[in-house]
């Protein structure tokens, strides 16, 4: 009788410890932001403008394109929150449209450099995604 009571106590204690461990690791993880906020977009624009030598008018227009695309993306993602494929496709479409719109403002040298920047960003994203898959 004592042995079974002891087993029940240890099993209960083990379960409680596991629950706190799981809750702590799950909710303790930093939350990722799906979309950049306005200050992050400004930093992206400053970096892009510096790398591509934008004139003030081009920088202003590219800034408008980026801000508008992220507003559109947020609305679309909120709408499709429960459908991962729709969210992924929407993100891809809006990103492609943003890149196309930006390219219309650039000269040939800037377009070439912009393509390289976009490809570098895609490669970094692929690496991050591979790293996430390895964690699971």
| Inter-residue contact 53 to 110 (CB < 8 Å) | yes
Q: For the chain, first and last CA: distance in Å?
A: 42
41 against 10, higher pLDDT? 41
Tell me which of 22-26, 38-42, 75-79 is least confident.
22-26
Single pTM value for the model = 0.67
- Mind listing the pLDDT tens digit for each residue in 58-108? 999 999 999 999 899 888 888 877 888 888 898 899 999 999 999 999 999
């Amino acid at each position: 009788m004592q042995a079974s009571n002891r087993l029940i106590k240890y099993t209960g204690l083990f379960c409680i410890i596991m629950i706190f461990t799981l809750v702590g690791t799950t909710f303790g993880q930093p939350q990722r932001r799906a979309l950049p906020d306005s200050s992050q977009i400004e930093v992206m624009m400053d970096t892009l403008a510096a790398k591509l030598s934008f004139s003030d008018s081009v920088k202003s227009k590219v800034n408008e394109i980026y801000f508008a695309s992220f507003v559109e993306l947020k609305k679309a993602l909120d709408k499709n929150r429960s459908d991962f494929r729709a969210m992924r496709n929407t993100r891809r479409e809006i990103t492609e449209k943003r890149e196309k719109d930006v390219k219309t403002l650039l000269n040939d040298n800037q377009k070439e450099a912009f393509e390289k920047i976009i490809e570098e960003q895609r490669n970094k994203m692929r690496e991050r995604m591979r790293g996430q898959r390895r964690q699971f």
